Chain A
Amino acid sequence: MEAGGDAAAPAPGDAEDVEDTQFPSEEAGDGGDVHEGSPDPEDGGLEETGPETKEQPPDLLSPLPQSEAPSCTCGLWSPAASENSPMGGPESGSGSQGGDPSDEDWRSKRKHVFVLSEAGKPIYSRYGSVEALSTTMGVMTALVSFVQSAGDAIRAIYAEDHKLVFLQQGPLLLVAVSRTPQSASQLRGELLAVHAQIVSTLTRASVARIFARKQNYDLRRLLAGSERTLDRLLDSMERDPGALLLGAVRCVPLTRPLREALGALLRRCTAPGLALSVLAVGGRLVTAAQERTVLAECRLDPADLQLLLDWVGAPAFAAGEAWAPVCLPRFNPDGFFYAYVARLDAMPVCLLLLGTDPEAFHDMATCRRLVEDGMHTLGAMRALREAASFSNASSASAPAYSVQAVGAPGLRHFLYKPLDIPDHHRQLPQFTSPELEAPYSREEERQRLSDLYHRLHSRLHSTSRPLRLIYHVAEKETLLAWVTSKFELYTCLSPLVTKAGAILVVTKLLRWVKKEEDRLFIRYPPKYSTPPAAPAASADQASHNGLFTGP
């Protein structure tokens, strides 16, 4: 299948970083050897028949003819039609004000993300000012509606080293323009996360209502103040891709007795209408407790939990006790929860109490005091502060550990997601990874590693030809990715390691994870706060709620 894709769509990044696209030595678990990363349109077409395709015509799944793509995309970059330089090539546009599409600095960004309304009204752009981009966004709308008029839907355009991914979500159109090695489906995942972020502040229903009433509404009015949240989200996906790639949350390493005591404490401290309590440090989960009567059998989706973890980490919650509405897009995209957010007395420790009653602030504040008192009794504050203080100065207050802890020389970094979890259905997907240390202290290095992880991930999860094991020798590092029924693992090793050496390192790492798993993961997540009711029809309910169950 890769032939078809390759012909029309040259592998991204080929031109610029040859070493990364080469896989000189590979062991393919399923016996097949691997060719250049072909961003096959089938990838997207086959795998995502999900929510966004619902109202679309059925023939949506057919991949788009790609040959006509490049000419279209040139148009995107030269709205004034005054310049015709290909996108990747040396830009002829002279720099003017930021955000102008002819601005070289703007054009040279690795990845652009745009949000616009169906009517073509700009809502968000990762870089530059939205005002300067209305023409560019107009072209995007034209592309989308042109394909739509043929009863089809545009999903992606592959143009030289750029990928353009389109995602229509109700009245919103999201577009990624990227020359990173990310696959179209990975980019689509990021667009979905951006959309989820918008939904979490406004709800899907209210966005739909607004545009139903006034098609050319300027949604920026309602999103004002949220742009920085979207910027932060996109930055963190770029820098720390684990959560999105693996669809899992990261836990604070903590001894099992302490974590269980904290879980029990959260379950004990309830308030009327309380649905979910979460303790977090620096965007990582300490523990969470769910109220049976509110969330019933619906396990919180990891994407929703990740959204909450990012949300409570926002600087806006640094002072005072906050009370704000938030929507969990995977749980119910149309309704708000009300969230109490406060940093407990050790500053980085954050408590989130999520309820359904908009008037319950004082009940939640009382509940917080119970949790705080309980934590003092447990002596947990000190332990959490220690967990939070390990990390180096660059990532303030993110609790983590050094890769040195593994004791496997040559191992630089890894992402590990256990799949052999007890009580699979209820378990929340988690992953662990050490702090990024030298040589990944500079932004470019981190980006390179993130790119490599993305490549390996899209190989392992290719819908047409999934792999189980990849050994990849890159210029500055060697990587080994491995997926089994028990785990999904990405390791980054020194470039001088031999294949045998790499296997040794990975064996050591697996042994270490096994030994530490009680500390690294929530092995036995807290049960519900209130005694379970009759379990009848619970599965039904889950489907009614439209809840996506985790992998």
Chain B
Amino acid sequence: MRKPDGKIVLLGDMNVGKTSLLQRYMERRFPDTVSTVGGAFYLKQWRSYNISIWDTAGREQFHGLGSMYCRGAAAVILTYDVNHLQSLVELEERFLGLTDTANADCLFAIVGNKVDLREEGAAESQEEDGHSPGMASGGCASLKVSKQVRPEDAVALYKKILKYKMLDEKDAPAAEQMCFETSAKTGHNVDLLFETLFEMVVPMILRQRSQGPAQTVDITSYKPPGRTKAGCCA
């Protein structure tokens, strides 16, 4: 099997459109999606590298798996719904902790999806014709403005994450570069998001390779002590 060279993980609350973003990028379409079960693995060829992308379930039911998907990740895409402030709050409260297993130099992108449904200030799209069945909750155009997320909120979260990771703002990519507003429905900024990340992940892959083959995948230090502990017959 083609061994992936780097890993990118999509995290975020349910119904923010993680699967739709990935489908838009990989298949250039916006199909109705259903609630993801566990996580789905995709492989993307970028230049000469294989980059694996994990589309995870936002459901609380699968929360325990999150840190497993993040293990050794080179980048994490934290996704929220711009019309639903709670989904941004959840990123900090519920999902940030899952990224502890990611690489030490892991990149973070904060992505506000569904800008096509935003009532005002969304010059990108005129499509206000209701919500699609696949992205049911939070998609209604009747949401109050107060629930909408401003780009500054995302930037603030990004800075909080850097603090949480004990990274100096000077060393990490700038917030303006890592905060995106997208629409999986119209395709707005979707390619930009993924391709920016791929471009940033490639040098990380190269850096890891130069550090010698033993460290190609830096997961050893995060491996749980026993493989059998979650065995079904335990």
- Tell me the A residues contacting B by CB distance below 8 Å: 201-202, 221-226, 228, 273, 275, 294, 314-317, 319-325, 327-328, 331-332, 335-339, 356-359, 361-362, 365-366, 369, 545
In chain B, positions 24-78 with a C-beta closer than 8 Å to chain A are 34-42, 55, 57, 59-62, 64-65, 68, 71
On whether A225 and B59 interact (CB within 8 A), knowing A314-B34, A317-B37, A365-B1, the answer reads yes
Q: What's the minimum C-beta distance from B53 to chain A, rounded to whole angstroms?
A: 9
Q: Which of B34, B37, B231 contacts A324, CB < 8 Å?
A: B37
B35 x A320 contact (CB < 8 A): no
Q: At the interface, is chain B mostly helix, strand, loop or mixed?
A: loop
Is B234 an interface residue, CB under 8 A from the partner? yes
Q: Are B61 and A336 in contact (CB under 8 A)?
A: no
Contact of B59 among A224, A294, A319, A332 (CB under 8 A): A224
Encode contact with A along B195-234: 1 for CB under 8 Å, 0 otherwise: 0000000000000000000000000000110011011111
* Chain A residues whose C-beta falls within 8 Å of the C-beta of B65 in the assembled complex: 324-325, 358
Whether A320 contacts B34 by the Cβ 8 Å rule is: no
19 A–B contact pairs at CB < 8 A? Answer: A226-B35, A226-B59, A226-B61, A228-B35, A315-B34, A316-B36, A322-B41, A323-B40, A325-B65, A331-B232, A335-B230, A335-B232, A335-B233, A357-B230, A358-B65, A358-B68, A359-B68, A359-B223, A362-B1
Residues of chain B in range 137-192 having any CB-CB distance to chain A below 8 Å: none
Contact (Cβ within 8 A) B23 A325: no
CA distance in complex: A328, B233 (Å): 11
Instruction: Report the separation of the CA atoms of residues A331 and B233 in the bound assembly, to the nearest whole angstrom.
Output: 9
B109 located at the interface, meaning its Cβ lies under 8 Å from any Cβ of chain A in the complex: no
Given contacts A319-B40, A357-B227, contact A224 B232 (CB under 8 A): no
Closest chain B CB from A543 CB (angstroms): 14
Whether the Cβ atoms of A224 and B41 lie closer than 8 Å is: no
Additional A-B contacts beyond A323-B41, A331-B232, A359-B227 (8; CB < 8 A): A221-B60, A224-B61, A226-B59, A323-B39, A324-B39, A332-B233, A336-B232, A365-B41
Does B91 interact with chain A (Cβ within 8 Å)? Answer: no
Out of A201, A323, A545, name the residue touching B233 (CB < 8 Å): A545
Q: A335-B231, A365-B41 are in contact. Are A224 and B14 (CB under 8 A)?
A: yes
A336-B230, A337-B232 known; A322-B38 Cβ under 8 A: yes
Q: A323-B38, A324-B37, A361-B41 are in contact. Are A356 and B59 (CB under 8 A)?
A: no
B37 touches A222 (CB 8 A): no
Q: Which residue of A lies closest to B230 (CB)?
A: A358
A502–B125 Cα distance when bound, in Å, is 66
Question: In the complex, what distance in Å separates the CA atom of A223 from the CA atom of B224?
Answer: 27
Residues of A within 8 A of B68 (CB): 358-359
- The count of A-to-B residue pairs whose CB atoms sit within 8 angstroms is 102
Q: Does B228 contact A356, Cβ atoms closer than 8 Å?
A: yes
Given contacts A314-B34, A323-B38, A335-B232, contact A225 B57 (CB under 8 A): yes
The CB with the most chain A CB atoms within 10 A, among B41, B62, B64, is that of B41
Answer whether A322 and B14 are a contact pair too, CB < 8 Å, given A316-B34, A545-B233. no
In the complex, which of the residues A275, A316, A338, A369 contacts B37, with contact meaning CB atoms closer than 8 Å? A316
Q: How long is the Cα–Cα vector from A223 to B35 in the complex, in angstroms?
A: 11
Expressed in whole angstroms, the Cα–Cα distance for A325 and B233 within the complex equals: 14
Cβ-closest chain B residue relative to A312: B37
- Distance from B20 Cβ to chain A, minimum over Cβ atoms (Å): 12
Contact A325 B234 (CB under 8 A): no
Q: How far is the CB of B50 from chain A (nearest CB, A)?
A: 12
Q: Considering the chains assembled together, what is the distance between the CA atoms of A369 and B3 in angstroms?
A: 13
- Bound complex: CA A314 to CA B38 (Å): 13
Interfacial chain A residues near B232, Cβ < 8 Å: 275, 294, 327-328, 331-332, 335-337, 356
On chain A, the residues within 8 Å of B233 by CB distance are 294, 332, 335, 356, 545
Given contacts A332-B233, A336-B232, A362-B1, whether A201 and B41 have CB atoms under 8 Å apart is no
In the complex, residue of chain B having the shortest beta-carbon distance to the beta carbon of A314:
B37
For residue B1, which residue of chain A has the nearest CB?
Answer: A366
Looking at the assembled complex, report how far the CB atom of B37 sits from the nearest CB atom of chain A, in whole angstroms: 4
Q: With A and B bound together, what is the CA distance between A198 and B60 in angstroms?
A: 14
In the bound assembly, the distance between CA atoms of A339 and B38 in angstroms comes to: 9
A327 cross-chain contacts in B, Cβ below 8 A: 232
Q: Which residue on chain B has the smallest CB distance to residue A226?
A: B61
Q: Is the CB of B40 within 8 A of A225?
A: no
Which residues of chain A are near B40, meaning CB under 8 Å? 319-323
**Contact (Cβ within 8 A) A369 B1:** yes
A322 CA / B65 CA spacing, docked (Å): 13
- Asked whether B230 lies within 8 Å of A356 as measured between CB atoms, the reply is yes
| Chain A minimum-CB-distance residue to B223 | A359
- Identity of the chain A residue whose Cβ is nearest the Cβ of B229 in the assembled complex: A358
Closest 3 A/B residue pairs (Cβ): A324-B38, A320-B40, A225-B35
Provide the residues of chain B in CB contact with A358, threshold 8 Å: 65, 68, 230
